[in-house]
Structure 1
Amino acid sequence: MSSTEPAPGGRDPSTVHVPVLLERVTELLGPACSTEGAVLVDATLGLAGHSLALLRAHPGLRLVGLDRDPDARAEATRRLTDAGAADRVTVVPAVFDELPEVLDRLGVAEVQAVLFDLGVSSLQLDRPDRGFSYAADAPLDMRMDPSAPRTAADVVNTYSAGELSRVLRVYGEERFAARIAQAITREREREPFTRTGRLAELVRAAIPAASRRTGGHPAKRTFQALRIEVNDELGVLERALPAALDALAVGGRLAVITFHSLEDRIVKQTLAAGAADRTPPGLPVPLPGLGPTLRLLTRGGEAASETEVAANPRAASARVRAAERIRRAA
């Protein structure tokens, strides 16, 4: 996936796609993908950059790729076919919290690796008509699944000032959330919001001038918050992570790339819980069934190198965490 920064020059994502933390992710998941018949679930398939690298490195690997975006599925399928991997790939139209149902339909009892590359994909960000970017005027949409019922325009035009303020404060960590929400509700009375350009300009005007000079585009946090709300991104992640861990075979590995602190906090807490010994304090030995089920493979959230960030600015905010299943839960 990607951060919320636009690609330089609006490059065509069908020809330019640089997966973030590619080398580290393939290193972390490689041992679990190396056995004949191993199954990798790419829960956020996008343009399939990480999955393609793993398929090339491990000829016996099979891929189950999930994505709610039909454009992403089509482009990923083309790339995987061009790479000669189509016979080892199943691409499924699904949101990643549907993972248990997908595996059940496919008759897959357990998997050896799971990858989550969170945030908005390069494909979505680089096509202005999808409405994810504040860098170009476009319909105010932001749906990862274009058939979903609620758009960003619906949120902006129907939520109360209090609801909007909550969304911007919690999901965008926007300290001027109340000011922006009040400006939105005032302006939509004059004319409903339908375009990203008008919203971006309103946010810029609502933020004090001194605060506009640092931290990137003033609308960045607002657009992030609306995108998370429209697509229920944090709710989906909270449901999907435990399901993905449950699907892992012993020795299986999970890696998650996040792009902001809200996602990273959920991942950190979920993996830490699995890696904890739940034996009551004071007992001389761990109790059977209460020991850790996971072994952490990363020291905190690992960032991209300076070299990678220089070559691919979208990697600047990326962090990866990974864990290995060491036993089944009792």
Structure 2
Amino acid sequence: MGRYEPRLFDEILAWLEVNGHWLDAPRLRTILRKQDDSSARVVGGTLQYILSRGDKRKWQNLARFCGSLFKRQPDADPLEPLFKEKSGDSHPLALPANLDPSFAAFYINRPKIRIQKEGKAVSVNARANLRFLLRSLFGAGAKSEAILYLLTHEGGRPREIADDVGMFWLSVHQALLDLSRSGLVLTRSKGKKVEYWLSQPKWWDFLASANYESSKPPKWINWLAIYSALSTAWKTVDELALRPHSDYMTSSKLQDSLEIVGHEFARAGYDTSRMPRPGLPPDVHQKMALRFLGEIIGVESV
């Protein structure tokens, strides 16, 4: 989303400078493996900037990983602008003398970064920041992610938890095994499979003792699925806006995109029943697909 709003993007950079220590670098690596390789360019440029500010120990390996993904893109546009208009058009290119070197290393064109306002430290006790509270207690990693999932679900199996939190399933499996030995994370059989669960009232009482600012548990939101769907939708709509196609090709590209978008939003619990199905006349399918994407993205038209 920040690529459509430069001010927001730079506020994210300012936030990362202050709060980057709360993030889970191995988890981000696993998430990037499942995204298209072009995502590595933006993440790589961002990490290169953070590295230039001195935070090398935490991010150096992930920055190298982004670089290895980037090298798999031989047709990458060396002048790709980072920022875009809502219409899909690119922002004006920065002149060579004003290029930011961190993003230029990943062939992304943006002006030199000038942070206007310092980021604020995150409040780990805020209701929306349960993930950060758990990381402050258990460290960033599979244990805090597994506990977060179990606090907002009746239970779960290692693979489904790993898919929803964006981690390697063996890491989650081992973390759950270790946690179950404490007696505070429990197991039960469901058919031939083992499900993990915990006593939510006891855990919430414990977290409340840490001044957790919430009278009721937060709702689980599958941000990984939502952002994956939004990214796919935006890329498709931008491409169609910039390169006119026949009704048939437009319908075909929209359908390819909708299959991904529908799957991801269904994972996140959204109603996708209004998504148009294949077989409609191209012009009808195109209108219904764009209307559906507009409703999902939250705009009147796309």
Q: TM-score, normalised by structure 1?
A: 0.28
- Which has a greater percent of strand? 1
- Which has a greater percent of helix? 2
Q: TM-score, normalised by structure 2?
A: 0.30
Q: Which fold has the larger relative contact order, with Cα–Cα distance below 8 Å and residues 6 or more apart in sequence?
A: 1
